[in-house]
Structure 1
Amino acid sequence: MNVSSVMTPNPACCIATTPLRDVAKMMLDNDCGQIPVVDESQRPIGVVTDRDIAVRIVAEGRDASQAKAADAMSMPVRTVTADTSLKDAVCVMEADQIRRVPVVDSDGKLAGIVSIADLALANRPEATAEVVREVSEPARH
């Protein structure tokens, strides 16, 4: 089984200059916690998570009304391809301690996102438990 069989296709995305308020609204509208940031060719250059907004903008006392996606985004972005096996996607998520990973097509353009929830919905409880355990560990430095 590969990533394309469980990923959320055509996810909402933004560009680096998208106002952060719009990014947060995308999260609300799409019931998600991560928005990929893409370049003019639709290739992922980073991601903005709800935690990024809380930690990099709100907790630092920055003016969220003036912030852009680039101000909060995590980079570099880790991606997998649509034909990546679920096992390999799980390894990426564990190694990087991430709960979601953007999926790119053969040209490197954003095609989807695979998340812990996608693994759970695909009846992969062992993979889901493994990823949750690994990403929940304190950050490795």
Structure 2
Amino acid sequence: MVTTAREIMTRDVTCVGERETLADAARKMADLGVGALPICGQDNRLKGIVTDRDIVVKTIAAGRSPSDVTAADVAQGKPVTIGADDDAGEILRTMGQHQVRRLPVIDGHDLVGIVALADVARALPDRPVGELLDAISVP
């Protein structure tokens, strides 16, 4: 049986609004115990992902206050996503090609979940996961 994104994703994903600050995003991350949140627009469309690293590197280390920077300010380009019915091979290829550890899962235009590297590691044999780690770890 083929494993799909829908089967291994984390459901009930909390978004940070594009107009919310990174301080708001950090509080949500702390409350949820996560290191990344999807950025959702006023139109309920996915605008990107903000990570705890974005808050530190792109904001605090750059001398900016997380209370003054919005999630939209750190969203970069079109977010990399995976379809809910895409298989594990496609998840691995997409993560490796874009060097990302998390993929928002889209069904039509709706955000329905997130697949993280840990989800893939639990669902698949060791070898493909090891190859993925090598691919996303290359600078």
TM-score scaled to structure 1, two decimals? 0.89
1:53 matched residue in structure 2: 55
2:42 matched residue in structure 1: 40
1:34-87 Cα shifts (integer Å, max 9, x gaps): 110112332211110111111110111112222211122333201111101011
CA contact (8 A) 1:14 1:38 kept: yes
CA contact (8 A) 2:47 2:72 kept: no
Task: Give yes or no for the alignment of 1:130 onto 2:131.
Answer: yes
Q: CA separation in 2, counterparts of 1:74 and 1:129?
A: 28
* 1:26 alignment partner, one of 25, 28, 35: 28
Moved over 4 A (4+): none
Q: CA separation in 1, counterparts of 2:125 and 2:58?
A: 33
Task: Give yes or no for the alignment of 1:119 onto 2:129.
Answer: no
When structure 1 is superposed on structure 2, of 61-70 and 88-97 the one drifting more is: 61-70
When structure 1 is superposed on structure 2, of 93-102 and 6-15 the one drifting more is: 6-15
Give identity over the alignment, percent: 34
Alpha-carbon offset, residue 25 of structure 1: 1.5
2:80 matched residue in structure 1: 78
Alpha-carbon offset, residue 122 of structure 1: 2.0
- Report the number of matched residues: 137
Which AA in structure 1 matches 2:135? E
Q: Secondary structure at the match of 2:16?
A: coil
Q: CA separation in 2, counterparts of 1:7 and 1:129?
A: 19
**Unmatched segments (≥5 aa) in structure 2:** none
* 1:94 alignment partner, one of 70, 93, 96: 96
TM-score scaled to structure 2, two decimals? 0.91
Q: CA separation in 2, counterparts of 1:10 and 1:126?
A: 30
Q: Secondary structure at the match of 1:9?
A: coil
Which AA in structure 2 matches 1:3? A
When structure 1 is superposed on structure 2, of 95-104 and 18-27 the one drifting more is: 18-27
CA contact (8 A) 1:47 1:75 kept: no
